Structure 1
Amino acid sequence: MTDLGAYRDQAEPCLWDLRQPLWSARIELDVEELKVSWEHGGNVTVRLFPYGLSRADVESAILAGP
């Protein structure tokens, strides 16, 4: 996650924050999947990604934004 520019939440090590100029994302490493919640203009979009996806696909999806 640090390669993407995300920062780990000190209180919750399974949570990461990623800030971009037009949106922000909260990334949660869950037991069975990766949950990404994007915030853009007051709207929140949530997507779940199974761990079976390739790292490159997940990173591309996260960086594509909401």
Structure 2
Amino acid sequence: MVDLPSPQTPLYNHPLPVLERWLAELGGRQRGHHSCEWDLTTVAWSAELVLGSEELTVRWGQAAAAVERHFPYGLTRADVEAAILAGP
């Protein structure tokens, strides 16, 4: 298994299997074996994460109460992780 790159590495320098491992290490659950959709739940909130072609989309909550943010793959893994774990 390949180690994760430095936390200061932009997401676009992470191969897809490494991104998937990172999301799993955060506590995410992939919706299907080859799905780009993930669910992440903490005691304080739950979120849906989508690995899109140009950005990672995170949607906390549901429907009208949802907060959605888009993180371009040019951001570092550390910055994106901090933003995701900070919650909505």
TM-score, shorter chain, exceeding 0.5: yes
Deviation at 1:26, TM superposition (A): 0.2
Deviation at 1:52, TM superposition (A): 0.2
TM-score (normalised: structure 1): 0.90
- Aligned-pair identity (%): 49
The structure in which a higher percent of residues are strand is 1
TM-score (normalised: structure 2): 0.68
Which of 55, 58, 62 is 2:80 aligned to? 58
Deviation at 1:21, TM superposition (A): 1.0
Matches within 5 A, 1:1-66: 1-10=23-32, 13-39=35-61, 43-66=65-88
The structure in which a higher percent of residues are helix is 2
Structure 2 residue runs of 5 or longer lacking an equivalent are: 1-22
Kindly tell me the number of residue pairs found equivalent between the two proteins. 65
Deviations 1:41-66 (A, max 9, x none): x7210000000000011111100000
Give the Cα–Cα distance (whole angstroms) in 1 for the partners of residues 25 and 33 of structure 2.
21
Which of the two has higher C-alpha Rg? Answer: 2
